[in-house]
Structure formats: structure tokens, C-alpha cells
Amino acid sequence: MAMTWSFSGITTFAHLKHVKCLTTPSEKFDIAIVGAPFDTATSYRPGINPYASWATIIDCGDIPITPFDNAVALEQMSEAFVELGSRSAPLGETGKGKGKGKGRPKLITLGGDHSLALPALRALKKVYGREVRVVHFDAHLDTWHPAKYPSAWPSTQSHFNHGSMFWLAGQEGLLSNSSSASNIHAGLRTRLSGTDPSDFVDDSSQNWLRISADDIDDLGGPAGVIAAIMDQFDLNDPDPDPVYLSIDIDVLDPAFAPGTGTPEPGGWTTRELIRILRGLVDVLNVVGADVVEVSPAYQGRGEETALAAAQVVYEVLTGMVKRGLKDGSSEEKVKGGVDKAHDEL
């Protein structure tokens, strides 16, 4: 077999097998890495090697998305997420839930801008047949009414942008709106759009709990943030809510992730975010995730933003695999590849 250099050929996430999944319906996978190259709506975990555990993990490549028409792009992403999310997983979906969606794979989407969360949530509602809970890591709310983005010529396309997609998701009935099952923002340090707190009032009316970046100090560090998030979930529920994890890289301080479109000083460190994710992902019923808003054009030669984003994806992926092992619903097929995880990226 000929030797293949890591810098040649198709570059995949973590050197995973590359398959054009949308045009290869026979391909089976438990977790897919999906590329969503769309940004025209913008204004070491120890113990296991996730790639050698029970899950079949592949890189599904990019969704074909037009850069010329946001309405068409939204439909393209929605259809792609439904198609991929509706496939059968080889070993079955790993959550404890017994409802619709059991046996479906999980998708981790690499953006692109944050607007891709809307088509992802549309697909999850269709696949799971129920509203989804969102844990949203971001400097910004992203629950703004589209009219708060001023436009003399408003349109359906202009309403779909990277600051309004969760408002749109709420209007479409994709998100849980139970007072006892709120969605969560974490890492906020957003500026308000006006001279009063109406942004927060609107956000609260959409049933979101806000954890600011500064709260990490008042809550006693990452453990306190984890506890505040976990307080919103019933961990004894035999049919837990499906959770979508949405991570805008600008939740990190620009010192750690300058390569993003809307950097905000005063954010969390990469270490803090990783610690928080480790406390959540293998506990919650995470059925999908995204890591978005990485913009290489604003990144220096150190590539710290890309490194941070890749590590965040790795932490989410590892948590999903560990959740499957914990539930006992996925047969273990570890090949002796333990304690090598740090070398896999």
C-alpha cells in the first residue's frame, strides 16, 4: 500500500475516512463530521481513543451550498441535515431515550457561520419528532428579532442571519418552550442593540437562561458553570430531552481565538471552555453539535483559533463516545487504542 502524506490528498477531520455521504446512501455511520461551508448570513481527554472505540466515525465532506442565494442555501442545508440525520447508525444512537430518533446517527457540523444552526435544528425536530433543548456557547445572544438588523428593503433572506437563527427556530417550534426546560446561553458578553435591556427581555420571553462570561468568576470557575447548566436538566429522566450543542468560537477571548468575525474582549480561555464541555457532553443526551464562526482570514500564523476549534470538536466527539459506553447500548470494540487520544489530531 502506497504511503500517503497527511498534507496531500483530501484533508479530513482527524484523518478520518472520507465519504460523500449525501450521494452514498449505503454508507453507515454512528457519528458524522459534516462541513457546511456557508458564511453569507454573517453581519486531551484521558482514558479512551474515541476513534478506536465503538463508534463508526467518518468525515462526510461538505454540503453543496450556493453562495448566491441565502434562501436556497437554507433549503440545501435543511435537506442535507435531514438526509444524513435520518440514516440508520450501525450500532444505534447512544442516548437512553426510546422515542422517535432512536438508532439515528449524530452530526457534528463545522461552520461556516452560526446561521447553520437553524437548518440543523429543523432536521433534529423532524428526526426526533420533538422540540430540542439548546446549550449555546457564544459571546452574543443570537435570539434577536430579524427587524433589529436594519434594512430598508426587508426580505425573507435578510431575516435569516447569524444573529436571528434562534429567534427563527423558536418561531418555527423547534425549541423547547417549557418553563422547566429552558435553553441556555453561556459565555455571554454581548452589547445590546438599543438603550434599554429589551434584548434581554426578548431573550427571556423565548425561554433562555443567560450565563455571562463574568459569571464564571462568581460561580467559582468551570465547575460552577457546569452546575448552573446541569440544574436545567432532569438527569433521572428515562427519556431525556435531545440536546443540541452550539459553539461559536467567539465564546473564547480574542487572545485565544482571534480568527472570528465578531470578536469580543473578556471571554473565556480555551482551558475553561474545554473543562466545561467535559462536564456536560457525556452526561447530557447530545444528539447534534456545531462549532462555527472560525474565520481563517482574521487568524495569524499561530493558527490558535483553528487549534482551539479542532480541540473543541474533539472534546464533543469524545463525550459522545463516552456517553455510548456509559449507557451500555453500544458494543465496545476498542482495539487496545487507549491513552493515545492526544496523538490523534
Query: Was 142 annotated as part of a binding site?
Result: yes
| 86 in a structural domain | yes
Segments forming the whole domain that contains residue 81:
19-148+159-329
Q: Mean pLDDT, to the nearest integer, of 59-78?
A: 91
Q: What is the pLDDT of residue 19?
A: 94
**Across the chain, what does the average pLDDT equal?**
86
* Residues above pLDDT 70, as percent of the chain: 83
| 4 in a structural domain | no
Query: Was 237 annotated as part of a binding site?
Result: no
| 287 in a structural domain | yes
Q: How many domains would you assign to the chain? A: 1
Query: Was 250 annotated as part of a binding site?
Result: yes
Query: Was 185 annotated as part of a binding site?
Result: no
Q: Mean pLDDT, to the nearest integer, of 30-45?
A: 79
Query: Was 18 annotated as part of a binding site?
Result: no
| 2 in a structural domain | no
Q: Which residues contact 78 (CB under 8 A, 6 or more apart)?
A: 119, 122, 123
Strand partners, 58: 32
291-331 tens-digit pLDDT: 999 998 898 887 999 999 999 999 999 999 999 888 765 55
Q: Which amino acid is at 187?
A: G
Tell me the whole-structure pTM to 2 decimals: 0.84
Q: Mean pLDDT, to the nearest integer, of 182-195?
A: 90
| 241 in a structural domain | yes
98-146 tens-digit pLDDT: 445 568 899 999 988 999 999 999 999 999 999 999 999 999 999 988 8
Contact 207, 232 (CB under 8 A): no
Q: Please report how the helices 270-278 and 304-327 are oriented relative to each other, as an axis angle in degrees rounded to 10.
A: 10
256-304 tens-digit pLDDT: 999 999 999 999 999 999 999 999 999 999 999 999 999 988 988 879 9
Strand partners, 268: 252
Q: What is the pLDDT of residue 153?
A: 62
230 — pLDDT class (breaks 50, 70, 90): very high
| 31 in a structural domain | yes
Phi, psi (rounded to 5 degrees) for 24:
-130, 75
Residue 333 pLDDT exceeds 70: no
Residue 342 pLDDT exceeds 60: no
Residue with the larger pLDDT of the pair 133 and 38: 133
18 — pLDDT class (breaks 50, 70, 90): very high
Query: Was 241 annotated as part of a binding site?
Result: no
Give the separation between CA 33 and CA 12, rounded to whole angstroms: 9
- For residue 310, the domain's CATH number is 3.40.800.10
The DSSP output letter for 28 is -
| 345 in a structural domain | no
Q: What is the pLDDT of residue 129?
A: 93
Q: What is the pLDDT of residue 233?
A: 94
Q: What is the pLDDT of residue 97?
A: 45
| 1 in a structural domain | no
Strand, helix or coil for residue 60: strand
